[in-house]
Structure 1
Amino acid sequence: MVERVDAVLDRGEAPHLHGLVVLRGGQVMLERYGAGEDHALNVPLGHVTFDRDTLHDLRSVSKSVVGLVYGIALAEGLVPEPGEPLVRQFPEYGVTGRDHLTVEHALTMTLGIEWDEQLPYTDPANSEVAMELAPDRHRYVLERPVVEEAGKRWHYCGGAAALIGEIITRGAGRSLAEYAAVRLFEPLGVTAYDWSMGDDGVTRAASGLRLRPVDLAAVGQLVLDGGRGIVPGAWIADMLRPRVVLEGGGWYGYQWYLSGDGRAEGIGNGGQRLVVVPSEGLVVAVTAGEYDRGLGSSQAVLDAVLSEGGEGDAAR
């Protein structure tokens, strides 16, 4: 594994790689860092030389962390079961005609509403950016036009994660960031983190979390270990159960991508990846800087880590 990854880096096949951490059996088997232009959401950070202590945007891997936090809050009786009505959690908006929507539709991104995140995240026409610019992000999501039957088709929607984050906030009586810090990060031993807020003071559930790659890997190890009492094991199993088929192959659970070999993954813009492979006891955390340009660098190193024979290589 080490030789394959280093060969990829030496050949320049992952030019935008910022960080890579591989765990097997909970132990660090490989750790690499790079350098390059970086951003915190859309704020340029200039040229950054990354190391173990550098926080990095997770972008939409934040959503997968929100999925974990929801399970913690559910066990504490702070949030509704997934089958409960969604709009009922936001009575002040007086939204009508949406009684069919459940919390699970948000968890699985099957709300059936009009939503487009295909445009760059610097474009105000991008639905997530438009949500950030709206006077009330949650009203914006709930009032989007219905375009198809809920629960039938997965359609990428950062607004779904925003609603989940707000349900946690309301139930916990503190911000999503504060609740996650106390109930997830601190018990996990993660002391360096940042979860940005919008101009409205609301935690950006869909994309605002920043962690060190080694701590992102620790989150993956927590999933691999079945929650370790921090997240209920039953919720981990529910969260990673295939719920809806993805058009490009695989499935989606509760804010996690799933594949037929039991692999679970969080994916974020620019090449942010968290991959959990139970069959091999493997966790891979990747950060990169290809924002709005694809996943090339992260995929190159993941292919090197996960190619056949990786287990034997890593054991040497």
Structure 2
Amino acid sequence: MQFSASAISSLLDHLEERGIECHSLMVVHRGRIIAEGWWAPYSADQPHLLYSLTKSFMSVAVGIAVNDGLLRLDDRVVDILPDHVPDDASEQARALTVQHLLTMTTGHAEDTLGDAWALEPTDLVRGFLRMPVTAASGSHHTYDNSSTFVLARMVERVTGTPLPTLLDERLFAPLGITDIEWDRVGDGAVYGFHGLHLTTESVAAFGELMLRGGAWQGRPILSQDWMAEATRKQVDSRHYSPGAPGVDFHAGYGYQIWSSTYGFHGNGAFGQQCIVVPDQELVVVLTAAHSEVRHAQDVLDAVRCFVVPGVGGARDDDQDAALARRVSELSLPMVEGTLGGASSAICATLDASPSGSALAEGTPVVVEQRAHGWIIRLGLDIEIAVGFDSWRESRPLGRPVVSSGAWQRDTFVADLHLVTSPHRVRLTVRKSTAHLVWVTVPLTTSDLTLHLKSPLMTRPDMA
């Protein structure tokens, strides 16, 4: 079946009109890549933080344990993790099951993550079981990160295997996925509800697996029954951001996977989306840095309005060539300005008073000009190359940073893209004062130093 290139061009136009900062796009129809592109400095070989799209992979981990006969939907948290049960756990908390956690129908009024971790800073499962339950379990859906964290610990307990190892052996290796990274909590455990980094192609392969009912190239990875249950509407849903509009976040929730008006989808903060349209055998993957909650629905609307109608559309050689050129030239804007001509290093001190500051007050900042760019030093440990009218990559503490900069009159400006995530920081230096501010503030920690290390190890306030 043919596919219209103009449909993809219309999608790109729509994303630009909405002001959505995209990092990658892949459209797959009947297992064939129709279009793919990366906005420089993002690239095909670089894993990208998925945030809560990680939850959909957690659904597969639970399915593996269920298919192996090690876990049942009616198994209770307190029976699988008895060493995490507080003495004051309510009867409702003691009755919570795998089914409740998968569908986020635990009876809590709102996301429990922040309060549960505040109650028990070293044991989120215990903190979760101490949280007050305000409605009958199974009665309504409330998006809740703690639920998925508890599921991860249950799967690890019954399988006797760390979650990354289990998914490596049973999911990623069969799909040929090797570039995998996990962010972790302080004791080394993975979050489960967020923190997985994968390439765009790997996410598309996962979408194909869901589309094919748990089979990959004809080989079953997961039972067809489980995948059918995981991807269908199990309960009525409420938006992950309470009160936000969005028809495809109110169309139902399966097992850690959202239903939509035309299929199902996995979703992560700032625009990490895997959209599956079963009727058209279509998978669309987008990684991005949304600045507004509404943009997630904007993307889903655009896929419905532009991409789906492209299935079966007439091919046009000129349109195909134009689209190929366009996707090969995708790029985020570089910092505009001049190279300047400073003959000596510029030394400044960080003013951390702006909201979203990425390092501590008083951090020394040094800018030294080099051929075709600069070297900047942040404190004692971070040294980053910055290109002029070009991108330059550094790995100051392990993870890559790709940067561009310029002088704008008397102010030096640089954008530092943390290309394994949706995030970037902007550095401005004027005279002896510097500011280093997140353009989109990460949900885990604002400390840039931690984001430059692999793996990121922190305890989030939310995700």
TM-score (norm 2): 0.59
Structure 1 vs Structure 2 CA RMSD:
2.3
1:197 Cα deviation from its structure 2 partner: 1.3
Aligned equivalents of 2:314, 2:24: Cα separation in 1: 18
1:180 to 140, 145, 167: 167
Distance 1:137 1:314, change over 3 A: farther
1:43-82 aligned at under 5 Å gives the runs 49-78=41-70, 80-82=71-73
1:7 aligns with 2:8: no
1:84 Cα deviation from its structure 2 partner: 2.0
Does the Cα contact within 8 Å between 1:109 and 1:157 map onto a contact in 2?
yes
1:241-252 aligned at under 5 Å gives the runs 241-247=232-238, 249-252=250-253
Which residue number in structure 2 is paired with residue 259 of structure 1? 260
Deviation per CA, 1:125-165: give whole Å up to 9, x if none.
Answer: 8458x479821121121221112111011001000100111
Which residue number in structure 1 is paired with residue 121 of structure 2? 134
- For structure 1, the residue ranges without an aligned partner over 5 or more in a row are 36-48, 118-124
Which residue number in structure 2 is paired with residue 29 of structure 1? 34
Distance 1:94 1:126, change over 3 A: closer
Which residue number in structure 2 is paired with residue 40 of structure 1? none
1:54-203 aligned at under 5 Å gives the runs 54-78=46-70, 80-95=71-86, 96=89, 97=91, 98-113=93-108, 115-116=110-111, 126-127=114-115, 130=117, 134-203=121-190
Distance 1:84 1:187, change over 3 A: same
Does the Cα contact within 8 Å between 1:271 and 1:295 map onto a contact in 2?
no
1:181 Cα deviation from its structure 2 partner: 1.0
1:215 aligns with 2:202: yes
Aligned equivalents of 1:160, 1:152: Cα separation in 2: 15
Which residue number in structure 2 is paired with residue 311 of structure 1? 311
SS at structure 2 position matched to 1:258: strand
Aligned equivalents of 1:56, 1:314: Cα separation in 2: 34
1:294 aligns with 2:281: no
1:60 Cα deviation from its structure 2 partner: 0.5
1:260 Cα deviation from its structure 2 partner: 4.4
SS at structure 1 position matched to 2:57: helix
In percent, how many aligned pairs have the same letter?
31
Counterpart residue type for residue 226 of structure 2 = W
1:282 aligns with 2:269: no
Which is higher, the Rg of structure 1 or of structure 2? 2
Counterpart residue type for residue 305 of structure 1 = V
Distance 1:193 1:133, change over 3 A: farther
* Corresponding residue pairs, total: 290
Aligned equivalents of 1:111, 1:304: Cα separation in 2: 33
Deviation per CA, 1:154-187: give whole Å up to 9, x if none.
Answer: 0010001001111111122121111111111011
Deviation per CA, 1:95-151: give whole Å up to 9, x if none.
Answer: 44233221100000011135437xxxxxxx8458x4798211211212211121110
Aligned equivalents of 2:30, 2:221: Cα separation in 1: 18
Which residue number in structure 2 is paired with residue 38 of structure 1? none
1:75 Cα deviation from its structure 2 partner: 1.4
Distance 1:242 1:57, change over 3 A: same
Distance 1:132 1:220, change over 3 A: farther
SS at structure 2 position matched to 1:275: strand
Question: Mean alpha-carbon deviation: is it higher for 97-106 or for 145-154?
Answer: 97-106
SS at structure 1 position matched to 2:128: helix
Counterpart residue type for residue 253 of structure 1 = G
SS at structure 1 position matched to 2:284: strand
Aligned equivalents of 2:119, 2:232: Cα separation in 1: 30
Deviation per CA, 1:205-226: give whole Å up to 9, x if none.
Answer: 0011111111101100001011
Distance 1:90 1:314, change over 3 A: farther
Counterpart residue type for residue 50 of structure 2 = L
Which has more helix, going by share of residues?
A: 1
1:299 Cα deviation from its structure 2 partner: 4.7
SS at structure 2 position matched to 1:186: helix
1:14 Cα deviation from its structure 2 partner: 4.2
Deviation per CA, 1:266-312: give whole Å up to 9, x if none.
Answer: 11110111111100100011111126x3252x554544433252213
Aligned equivalents of 1:27, 1:233: Cα separation in 2: 22
Distance 1:108 1:198, change over 3 A: same
Does the Cα contact within 8 Å between 1:132 and 1:198 map onto a contact in 2?
no
Does the Cα contact within 8 Å between 1:14 and 1:300 map onto a contact in 2?
no
Aligned equivalents of 1:271, 1:131: Cα separation in 2: 28
Distance 1:253 1:299, change over 3 A: closer
SS at structure 1 position matched to 2:126: helix
1:8 Cα deviation from its structure 2 partner: 3.0
SS at structure 1 position matched to 2:35: strand
SS at structure 2 position matched to 1:210: strand
- For structure 2, the residue ranges without an aligned partner over 5 or more in a row are 1-6, 239-246, 317-463
Relative contact order higher in (CA < 8 Å, ≥ 6 apart): 1
TM-score (norm 1): 0.84
Question: Mean alpha-carbon deviation: is it higher for 130-139 or for 14-23?
Answer: 130-139
Counterpart residue type for residue 286 of structure 1 = L
